Amino acid sequence: MRNFRCTLANGYAQKDKSPFEMYAFMDRSHWVDFVLKVKSEAFEETSQKAKRSVAKNAKRPCVGRMGFVGLQKFEEDRWRQLLESYPHLHNLEGEDVKQYAISRARYYSVTKLYELPKHLFSNGELTRTLHDMYDKEIEKKKDDTYDKHGNDVVTEVIGKGHQHGGRLGATITLHSKKKKKEV
């Protein structure tokens, strides 16, 4: 529904076009109100605020419904499809590295497949970050530190916290109120 409203707002209302040829099912009585709302100053303020908020989000793979948690239900199918398209991904073994690759894959409507960006896979080879992760996995296996707690390949390659656009360090803060003693 949100995508449809966005299409109507950007493709029709803002351009003073009529959507009724394409969307005959729409109720014309609501269209005038919708256009007035979309062109209002309050709507523009909200839109700009949302754009600024999204621009600040440097860690997109970690948040939202399609962040790491949201991708879990699609993970197996996407990984299988990526393996068919990119055979060198078979070399990557860690779950965290697989999640990283899956989170970077984007759906292309032309090919109807998920594809990795050019900076991660080029000329049939893993490049940059994925190649570094592969090298780090091999290094950790030789050192016998691969499965040790706190030795996360993705975090070591990308970094964490504010220094890098890498993974987030989870912080849990508990707040409690002390009960007052009755006198």
Give the residue with greater pLDDT, 171 vs 84: 84
Tokens of 97: 């590295």
Contact of 103 with 61, CB cutoff 8 Å: yes
What is the predicted pLDDT for the residue at 67? 63
pLDDT at residue 64, as a whole number: 56
Q: Which residue has the higher pLDDT, 89 or 65?
A: 89
Rounded to an integer, the average pLDDT of 74-96 is 84
The CA distance from 114 to 120, in Å, is 13
Arithmetic mean of pLDDT, 73-79: 84
pLDDT tens digits, 12-42 = 888 888 888 888 888 888 888 888 898 899 9
Q: Is 118 helix (H, G, I), strand (E, B) or coil?
A: coil
What number is the average pLDDT over the span 101-111? 84
Q: Determine the Cα–Cα distance for residues 137 and 92; give it in Å rounded to an integer.
A: 8
Q: How confident is the model at residue 57 (pLDDT cuts 50, 70, 90)?
A: low
Q: Give the model's pLDDT for residue 62.
A: 56
Query: What is the rounded distance in angstroms from the CA atom of residue 151 to the CA atom of residue 4?
Result: 44
Range with lowest mean pLDDT among 64-73, 97-106, 135-144, 159-168 = 159-168
> Has residue 175 got a pLDDT over 50?
no
pTM: 0.49
Neighbours of 8 (CB within 10 A): 20
Amino acid 41: pLDDT? 92
